[in-house]
Amino acid sequence: MELQVTDNPDEQRFEIRADGELAGVIVYHMRGTTIAFLHTETDDKFRGLGVAGRLVQSSLDSARERHLSVLPYCPYVKTWIAKHPGYLDLVPEDRHPDFGLLLLLPPKIRLFFRED
């Protein structure tokens, strides 16, 4: 299955096509140099095939290339970032608590905050 992700700024969404067929979208809102990911949706017949993950990764890669800050309001995008901490730097550090991303601090820093 060939997957292709494109940005559709007129619709404010990234789209993923599987063999040319629309398979999913991430709806976003742009404000200045910040992109807020609001909702991710995939067609039922493409679920469980890695389509949503590929869509999120490509969308985040695009944000990085464009030097945009990311606000992951979409629970799927937030969870994906939590599982792939190499993308955590896209979320402004002062906004990490807003998205429950404090648990992603490096182990040495977490030990400093450990409660015994």
Instruction: For residue 24, count other CB atoms closer than 10 A to its CB.
Output: 23
pLDDT band at 106 (very low <50, low <70, confident <90, very high): low
**What's the pTM?**
0.85
Checking DSSP bridges between strand 69-72 and strand 34-42, what pairing results, if any?
Answer: parallel
- Each residue's pLDDT tens digit, 11-46: 999 999 999 999 999 999 999 999 999 999 999 999
Q: Among residues 74, 96, 73, which one has the least CA distance to residue 85?
A: 96
Encode burial over 62-96: b for 16+ CB neighbours within 10 A, e otherwise: ebeeeebbbbbbbebbbebbbeeeebbebbeeeee
User: pLDDT at residue 115 above 70?
Assistant: no
- Each residue's pLDDT tens digit, 69-96: 999 999 999 999 999 989 999 999 999 9
Model pLDDT, residue 113: 43
